[in-house]
A and B are shown apart, each in its own frame.
Chain A
Amino acid sequence: MGGTGNEYRLLMPLIPALLIVPVLALAGFESVEVAFLIVLAPLVSFPIILISGQLYNGNKTWKHSLKEGGVIALSALLVSLTTASWIVIDYIRGAREITKDASGRTAASWWDWISFDVLLSDYSLSSERVIGVGVWIDSVTLMLLFVATFLCFLICWFSLGYMNTDPINENRNHRFYAEFVLFAMGMFGMVLADNFLWLFIFWEIMGLCSYLLIGFYFWKESAAYAAKKAFLTTRVGDVFLMVGLLILYDIYGSLEFSVIFEDPSIGGTVDSDKLFWALIMLFIGAVGKSAQFPLHVWLPDAMEGPTPVSALIHAATMVNAGLYLVARMVPFVDIGGNGVAGLDDLGLIVAYIGGITAFMAASIAFVQNDIKKVLAYSTMSQLAYIFTGLGVSLWFYNHGKTDAATLVFGGSMFHLFNHAMAKGMLFMASGSVIHEVHHAHDHLHEGDDGHDHHDFDPQDMRNMGGLASKMPVTSAAMLIGSMSIIGIPLIGGFWSKEAIVAKTWKASLDYEPLMMGPAILVLLTAGMTGFYMSRMWLMTFAGEPKHQVIEHVHESTPWIKEPLLILSVISALGGFGLSVLGIVKWLAKPYNYDLGINEQSVIEQVIYELEHAFLPDDPNLRIVGWTTIFLSLVIGPIFAARVHGGGLADGQRANPLISWIATLSGKFGSQDVTEMSQSSLSEALQNRLYFDHYYELALSKTVIPLAALAAWFDKRVVDGIIRRVESNSVLGSVQIRRITTGRASDYILMAAIGALSIFALAWGVSG
């Protein structure tokens, strides 16, 4: 299975894809005009990959040169990536051809989907209304669009190595790549959509792809079950989301962003209760999609899918859809603009759901031994951070505190960026670990009859340990990713997480005591994140190998290292770099009224950012900031080190930058947690706080018996009555005997007689 350098010649087909954008640019097109390419490229490649895969399955060229469709998928995603980058660059440069409205948004319409009239309450018909499809571009769109296209491309690249070298996937990969590009289409479309309905449409397409890809190993009972669970749980949210759309449509007579955001208060006449319920319904949809309490149960099970799927859909892109939707709620509550006052409860609810989920998910992550499950709970917890931030921002907006609101909004969006980059990379790194451990295990047991196969779980961290010396790139990438998630000062996620925690505290201390709940929860979660992420890294990479398989692990699969390296750099430096460039304010640009974009020099800006992060003016925030740093940098990791830390085994060498940490982790002594791990709290955490259990119990006690009852009722009662009537009536029995002769002439005669007698009867009735 050894990788060879000349695998990269397979990238030749990518060159035309790379050329499309320059050619279009030279031909005089404008970037927004060709935005449809972002969606179209993956949409077109979907049937091509699926059908060619079905037809040429097993064909040599298809398998080795086209990687069972992987290369086609990669080309399509490259087209999307280049087009998206073109738009981003154009937008940032402020190119003339991008026409913007006052708040820096661009919209273009593609086609009319349905058009209709509405009967108004004075019995007159409205003028024709249209639900169309188009693009809507502002800085939030662009950020997500870039994240989505970039990560789709990198993860597709990663999949070429990960999926195609696993014999179990042989002749099945075309299905993977086809569903992958379909998903990409859904994600790009959702981000670009210019109205809530099309946002919802693409949102559902993503749900479908999530279902299909979780169930990629469809023959596994657990995978089929997890796929169904994911689809149905998100479906619950989606149905509420749809009801929210219906209410919004009723209020505004349109679902277009450009119409609704123009004046969400309709000159102050809007019924704020109705709007509140509409937004709550939308939020329930977001909760389902982003796996927040209480609709979070599907995400951990979703890890049944192949690891690239977990990286893409369940960490970096799809789960952000809910956040994006909540971010789109800002104009409704922004009383500095045209928003509606009195919606501050919405902000509180969002913040509370976020706080609760963050804490709950982090605590469950404490006891997970499956490397992907830890990351799944971590995803949930980090998304919850962003929800908290957005909730606080909605609250601020609704109270006219626009400056604070803008900062925490931008911070939340920035956290989304940092988290997507880091978590996408962490999942890919975990995939790398799983893949190599699995291979090593297969290699070790090549001669066996394979009965041992099922006992060994390549995802279980209890089988790992000491991998730092075997997998230098992966362990470094994982370390940087973990540091970004934990929020180690100066690295990636620190910059954005700091903003969320600080602003939540500011809201609770200065304005709204009820915000104290989320504020405390997110602060505690910061420390807990430090613990479980360090625990994961230490269990996997530090200490001595816990299974003989580890001795045989090599980091040798092609296509896997490049994405890890690229994302490591972005995770490590991106947070600081982009902060300095003023991304927080840039992201909040659509909803930003007075904050100027930075005009200081870079040095001034660096100093400003550092000062802002470590020594804010407000003494309370200074305390909060340093507590966060203390919890996440010191308390969490040290506890993790006491339980799971340890130097590498003798004679094992690793990159000095990494082995230093492994060695240090062995210095804190070791703490025996056997007793703690047998406590009922630990048991409850291991059972995911029994949510799944009780949900299933409730469903099996209600839905299944009720369905059986309905079926029985239909068969015995509704149909039973008919049968009784039928068998008792003389007419019926005569007809039955006649018809069983099976001759059409008999029947036609009877029908004629029947018709005539009815004719006579009706004459009588009307006469």
Chain B
Amino acid sequence: MALPHMLPENASEQVKRISRNICMGVALALLAISTWAAATSFSDLAWKSLDFGDFELKNSPVSLIPQIGVSWHVGADALSLPMIWLTALVVPLSMLVEWDAKKGHYFHPLLLVMEGAMIGVFVSLDLFVFYVFWEMTLIPMFFLILVWGGEDRRYAAMKFFIYTFTASVLMLIGILVMYFNTGSSLSERTFDMLVMLESGDSMTEGLRHLVWFLLLIGFATKMPSVPVHTWLPDAHVQAPTAGSMILAGVMLKMGAYGFLRVAVTAFPGSTVVFTPLLVALGMASLAYGAWVCMGQSNLKRMVAYSSVSHMGLIFLGIATMQPLGIAGALFMMFAHGIISPLLFAVAGAFKHHYHTLEIGSMRGIAHHSPWLAGHMMLGWMASLGLPLMAGFVAEVAVLIAFWMTFGWWVMVPALTLIITAVYYLTSMQRTIFESNDPHEGQMPDTLHHEPRDITWHENAGMIILGALTILFGILPFFFWDMMSHWSTEVMTDLLTEAMQSEGVRP
């Protein structure tokens, strides 16, 4: 889906410019295609009669490695389509924000490789191909951090790589166990997802739980969930802005996507049995993540931990075992996918123009960078769950469902909302406000030139993200409807049955 552009190191300016235009062109073309795909589905009433497994857009499988049953089988349904659109949106925007990146003729193609791999993850209907794409996303991100990262990039890149790689190896074991249960001989076995997801039926209960656990570890590390989240802050702090935007905006969603696509769908029984574990993980991520956020002094680190905190809501949403909660979790993935790139774009702009990320090393930046301050305000408010922005829709849906299932436990996530507000407001107060001078801000020591506002391309990227955040907050039904239908179908077909057999009441 994407071609890396191999160009000599000393390429002329002209070539560089052409290269990035080509990259943007490809990315925009992908955005156009996925928007078209999404838009035709909005108006398609067939969503309502969608059966699980009956993918809307899919090809007929083409065998790749017939010996072990690997085939090229791709498709999109209501679970993956919003994610595909999100990927196609975030990548060109991250290119736009880092339009003037150093060594851009390497940088922008790498982003395209990322995009290809991530879309691959979302469209694969063959678990082997899924896993290959899953690991393929690591490579460009690894280089993005290693080459364009901050001071400590070497350590961060390695940590990011080894950590997530180790976790996905466990996931691979799980996938392989599923594979060996699809048939008794090599010729019968297949990696085709639609077949493999039925393979749980032929396993013993213990094995099912074991595989579910292996998958959970792999996916929860990607999400990431407490306690396997510590790769995220390091990776984010060192990653370049565009890398952070993609990492937070899309890559984290792969974890939740995979969990729903593979673990929940193949092992609904285990999911129902281990609901308390999901709640515990979700609450821990949410509340603990928020507390850790409050103790951070690095802007990007704080935003990174806030991602951990928000991802906790996804587990809570799934654990409610209510269509509303699952749809809320899906919408959270989508909303966080728009909001967090905005947050990282803002944090990156601080790094870019003020050369520091220390909260408190500067004051009154709003005097000099009104656009930056405006975007910060919008992004921060969106992330703390202010209504009329996308994040609130997800939050309120998850919480309504959570009360229905767990009652007063809802106080934990609800009170966390206050803590979220505390750290966001405090970080704004200590960067863009409070200079005690009506015309001048207090500059950080790292700034050796006149303070300036963000560039036009950063501004454009942030405006688009901000506008979409508000659009989906006021009119969420574009993607909400298909998510809601998907979660309803999952409930009717899979989870309800599992709940009945496990004796769990809604």
Residues of chain A contacted by B411 (CB below 8 angstroms)? 243
Which of B371, B399, B433 contacts A218, CB < 8 Å?
Answer: B433
- Check if A514 is an interface residue, CB within 8 A of chain B: no
Given A232-B425, A719-B230, A766-B176, residue A119 in contact with residue B321 (CB < 8 A): yes
Q: Closest residue of chain B to A231, judged by CB?
A: B425
A235 and B321 in contact, given A215-B433, A711-B295, A719-B230 (Cβ under 8 angstroms): no
Contacts A123-B506, A758-B173, A765-B173 hold; do A204 and B386 have CB atoms under 8 A apart?
yes
| Contact yes or no, B397 A114, CB < 8 A | yes
- A197 surroundings in chain B (CB, below 8 A): 396
Report chain A residues within 8 Å CB of B396.
197, 242
Q: For the complex, give the distance between the alpha carbons of A197 and B321 in Å.
A: 22
Indicate if B195 sits at the interface (CB-CB under 8 A). Answer: no
Find out whether the CB atom of B438 lies under 8 angstroms from the CB atom of A204.
no
Q: Residues 732-749 of chain A: 1 if any B CB is under 8 Å from the residue's CB, otherwise 0?
A: 100110011010100110
Name the distance in Å between A321's Cβ and chain B's nearest Cβ.
14
Interface bits A702-725 vs B (CB < 8 Å: 1, else 0): 011011111111100011001000
Q: Which residue of B lies closest to A717 (CB)?
A: B227
Residue in A249, A704, A707, A767 whose Cβ sees the most chain B Cβ within 10 Å? A707
Per-residue contact bits, chain B 149-174, to A (CB 8 Å; 1 contact, 0 not): 00000100111011101000100110
Q: How far is the CB of A247 from chain B (nearest CB, A)?
A: 7
Given A115-B484, A242-B396, A722-B163, A219 contacting B294 (CB threshold 8 A)? no
Q: Map CB proximity to B onto A500-536 as digits: 1 under 8 Å, 0 otherwise.
A: 0000000000000000000000000000000000000
Q: Which of chain A's residues 140-176 have a Cβ closer than 8 Å to chain B? A: 168
> What B residues does A208 contact at CB under 8 A?
381, 386
Q: Is the interface of B mostly helix, strand, loop or mixed?
A: helix
Least Cβ distance of A726 to chain B in Å?
7
A112, B366: Cα distance in complex, Å:
38
* Interface membership of A228, Cβ < 8 A: yes
Query: Are A703 and B173 CB-contacts (below 8 A) given A125-B488, A218-B432, A242-B414?
Result: no
Q: A115-B481, A208-B381, A215-B433 are in contact. Are A239 and B414 (CB under 8 A)?
A: yes
Shortest CB distance A724–B (Å) = 12
**A698 contacts chain B at the CB level, 8 A cutoff:** no
Q: Are A201 and B499 in contact (CB under 8 A)?
A: no
Chain A residue nearest in CB terms to B210: A765
**B9 within 8 A of partner (CB):** no
CA of A242 to CA of B385, assembled, Å: 12
CB distance from A542 to the nearest CB of B (A): 34
Nearest-neighbor residue (CB-CB) of A169 within chain B: B438
CB of B435 to closest CB in A, whole Å: 5
A240's nearest neighbour on chain B, judged by CB, is B414
Q: A712 CA to B392 CA in the complex, in Å?
A: 30
CA distance A210 to B300 in the complex (A): 27
B388 & A201 in contact (Cβ 8 Å cutoff):
yes
A743 to chain B, nearest CB (A): 11
Write out, one digit per residue, whether chain B residues 366-392 have a CB within 8 A of any chain A CB (1) or not (0): 110011001001000100001110001
| A755-B506 in contact (CB<8A) | no
Shortest Cβ distance from A112 into B: residue: B477
Quick check: B366 and A740 within 8 Å, CB to CB?
no
Is B65 among interface residues, defined by CB-CB distance under 8 A? Answer: no
Q: Indicate if the CB atoms of A221 and B176 lie closer than 8 Å.
A: no
Q: Does B505 contact A (CB under 8 A)?
A: yes
CA distance A371 to B57 in the complex (A): 67
**A761 interface residue per 8 A CB criterion:** yes
Give the Cβ gap from A139 to chain B, nearest Cβ, in Å.
27
Contacts of A239 in B (CB 8 A): 414-415, 417-418
B447 at the binding interface (Cβ < 8 Å): no
Q: Is A599 an interface residue (CB 8 A)?
A: no
Contact yes or no, B505 A224, CB < 8 A: no
- The reply to whether B392 and A201 form a contact with Cβ atoms under 8 Å apart is yes
B387 partner residues in chain A, CB cutoff 8 A: 200-202, 204-205
The 4 A-B residue pairs with the shortest CB-CB distance, nearest first, are: A711-B295, A762-B176, A707-B294, A766-B180
Q: A115-B484, A763-B176, A765-B177 are in contact. List 9 more A-B contacts (CB 8 A).
A: A201-B392, A224-B429, A225-B434, A243-B403, A739-B158, A744-B139, A754-B169, A758-B173, A763-B180
A-B CB contact pairs (8 Å), 12 listed: A114-B477, A117-B324, A125-B323, A219-B366, A228-B425, A242-B396, A243-B411, A246-B400, A703-B422, A710-B295, A735-B158, A740-B158
Enumerate chain B interface residues (CB-CB to A < 8 A): 135, 139, 142-143, 146, 154, 157-159, 161-163, 165, 169, 172-173, 176-177, 179-181, 207, 226-227, 229-230, 288, 291-296, 321-324, 327, 364, 366-367, 370-371, 374, 377, 381, 386-388, 392-393, 396-397, 399-400, 402-404, 410-411, 414-415, 417-418, 421-423, 425-426, 429, 432-438, 441, 475-477, 480-481, 484, 487-488, 491-492, 496, 499-500, 505-506
